[in-house]
Amino acid sequence: MHHPGKSISGFDTHFLFTLLIASCLSLSSALPVPQTGQIDPTAYAQSADQKSGSWPYFLGPFHTGISTETNLIDQFPQAGPPLLWEKEIGTGYSAPAILGNRLVIHHRPNGNRKGKEVIECVEADTGKFLWKYEYDSDFRDPYGYNNGPRCSPLLTEKYCYTFGAQGKLYCLNLKEGTMVWFRDCLKDFDVPPGFFGVGSTPILEGDKLIVMVGAKPNSGMVAFDATTGKTLWKNVGKIVWNGTETGWERMPNYKWRGNEKISSYSSPLAVTIHGKRHLLCLMRQGLVSLNPQNGSVNFKYWFRSLINDSVNAARPVVVGDKIFLSAAYQVGSALLQVNSDGKSYQELWRNPANMLTHWSTTIHHDGYLYGFSGRHERGATMRCLKLSDGKVMWEADGTAAVLGKVKPNQLTGQYQWIDSGKTAPWPFYGRGSAIMADNKFIVLGERGTLAILKIDPNQCSEVCRTSFPQIKYPAWAAPVLAHKKIYLRSESHLICLDFAKKPTK
């Protein structure tokens, strides 16, 4: 990993993808239709475990970074919550996925040169090994970042789906780890090279596995049969984006050249709006809504930086019939309102400066949006926006909570608590990530700072913070919460923390 701020052949090393990611993870029309803009939880309820605290997809049970778990600790001491277990793993940016007591992590041991991508299953409560499946990978990140997988596993009661850095799509038996089917997307489709490999986590929509393949000329999105891997439909590319209004002065209508990248690092999202299912895909060029049954286009919205070396990485956020989008690279954010016909929309507002999300998906709560803004670690802040007009309510870099409480160690470069002299968490959040549960935010800064914040639209209210030596920069995978345990991964370790509230005596 190159030092932040340095460049590789003139390229800014802060130019990243997401996981979210890097995720990076809804339903046939025959299933019950939820309220407008809501993700139907019955769509994902493959088992009782899934409804009782599992985290089987990228960004959790509802694909939003929000969990319904309760009875979590409200604060912890400087040493942090209890460490239940830890495991050395290989590189990658993919967060683990958990269903019941099975945790699957996708990583690449010794990933600097030729090696293997490993899909590994362990017991979620103990870290005990259950099975692993590995396959060859010689992926080299063009800009010097790690060479491991970027997408999170997707788990159902029967299957485990993974999407590797080179577009290798696997369906494994979750119980035993044996292969059910496999597609090599870079060989089966005409996919231009990505900036950082493949990084958009697939989702399930009924019996379809929806994958951002990013192939030319019109296979940006592909639906596979979830049980066989057979291609069911494909769409998005030249046919969608050629001639689209851009709002760019130099090219008001986009002219397709034929060599464009199509995929992004934003994972698709399936929701019901005005009684109609929408597969929302924030591609490199912008947002496209597809009919998940056949891939036909409902509407499209150009949302792309003028800067060529740029990516869309954060997932769309749906609130009722409104869709929030955000990206770095001088793009900013926008709020769309889908019309009742499901084929058109209104742009309620667009702002180039209020929220510039690099990769971690913003979270909505009670009319406010909470997320991280900033292309670079230095200068990045956590922000709260008012949904209705995009007004910035507050922004914070994390330092206020420890002002006068920590100081840098001139010898080690680390920070230490002034009162105890012990190692302290990094004071800045940087381009962090957050999840929401039990009326609080659980925040992870990119240098490993773990904090609990109150949900407050008026100010940044940090309750406590800590760090663990296993979770170092770059900690870019969001925290995972399952069965009152928090799971954090770095490029070398996976740790499990106890977040259960203890009964009072």
Helix, strand, coil percentages for the chain (3-state, nearest 5): 5, 40, 55
The single residue listed with the structure tokens 């799971």 is: 487
Which of 449, 458, 440, 456 has its CA nearest to residue 501?
A: 440
Determine the Cα–Cα distance for residues 105 and 155; give it in Å rounded to an integer: 11
Which of 316, 282, 321 has its CA nearest to residue 302?
A: 282
**DSSP reduced 3-state for 42:** helix
> For residue 196, what are its two tokens?
């950082």
Burial of 129 (0-12, 13-18, 19+ CB in 10 A): exposed
Which pLDDT does position 52 carry in this prediction? 63
Are 497 and 467 in contact by the 8 Å Cβ rule? The answer is no
Determine the Cα–Cα distance for residues 22 and 19; give it in Å rounded to an integer: 1
> For residue 363, what are its two tokens?
């979270």
User: Does an H or E element contain 12, and which?
Assistant: strand 11-12
Q: How many other CB atoms sit within 10 Å of the CB of residue 326?
A: 30
Q: Rounded to the nearest 5 degrees, what angle is found at the Cα of 221, between the Cα atoms of 215 and 226?
A: 115
Q: How many other CB atoms sit within 10 Å of the CB of residue 187?
A: 11
Enumerate the β-bridge partners of residue 489. 494
Are 232 and 253 in contact by the 8 Å Cβ rule? The answer is no
The single residue listed with the structure tokens 């109150």 is: 454
Q: β-strand 450-454 against 440-444: which pairing, if any?
A: antiparallel
The single residue listed with the structure tokens 């491991």 is: 148
What would the DSSP string read from start to end of 221-280?
A: EEEEETTT--EEEEE-SHHHHTT-B---SS-SB----S------SPPPEEEEETTEEEEE
Determine the Cα–Cα distance for residues 360 and 134; give it in Å rounded to an integer: 28
Residue type, 289: S
Are 219 and 237 in contact by the 8 Å Cβ rule? The answer is yes
Determine the Cα–Cα distance for residues 334 and 3; give it in Å rounded to an integer: 32
What is the maximum span of the chain, computed from C-alpha positions, in angstroms?
69
Are 234 and 223 in contact by the 8 Å Cβ rule? The answer is yes
Determine the Cα–Cα distance for residues 187 and 206; give it in Å rounded to an integer: 26
Enumerate the β-bridge partners of residue 243. none
Residue type, 232: L
Enumerate the β-bridge partners of residue 8. 11
Burial of 290 (0-12, 13-18, 19+ CB in 10 A): buried
What would the DSSP string read from start to end of 145-207?
A: ---S--SPPEE-SSEEEEE-TT-EEEEEETTT--EEEEEEHHHHSB-PPPSSS-----EEETT
Residues 6+ away with beta carbon under 8 Å from 307:
329, 330
Which of 485, 484, 483, 505 has its CA nearest to residue 495?
A: 485
Which pLDDT does position 112 carry in this prediction? 55
Residue-level pLDDT, tens digit, the chain, 505 residues: 333 333 333 334 333 333 333 333 332 333 333 334 544 443 444 444 445 689 999 999 999 999 999 999 999 999 999 999 999 999 999 999 999 999 999 999 985 566 899 999 999 999 999 999 999 999 998 888 899 999 999 999 999 999 999 999 999 999 999 999 999 999 999 999 888 899 999 999 999 999 999 999 999 999 999 999 999 999 999 999 999 999 999 999 999 999 999 999 999 999 999 999 999 999 999 999 999 999 999 999 999 999 999 999 999 999 999 999 999 999 999 999 999 999 999 999 999 999 999 999 999 999 999 999 999 998 999 999 999 999 999 999 999 999 999 999 888 889 999 999 999 999 999 999 999 999 999 999 999 999 999 999 999 999 999 999 999 999 999 999 999 999 999 999 999 999 999 987 7
Enumerate the β-bridge partners of residue 382. 372, 396
Beta strands (DSSP E) in 354-455 are 363-365, 368-373, 381-386, 392-396, 406-408, 415-417, 423-424, 433-437, 440-444, 450-454
Determine the Cα–Cα distance for residues 336 and 321; give it in Å rounded to an integer: 8
DSSP one-letter code for 108:
B
Determine the Cα–Cα distance for residues 460 and 400; give it in Å rounded to an integer: 9
Q: Rounded to the nearest 5 degrees, what angle is found at the Cα of 126, between the Cα atoms of 122 and 132?
A: 15
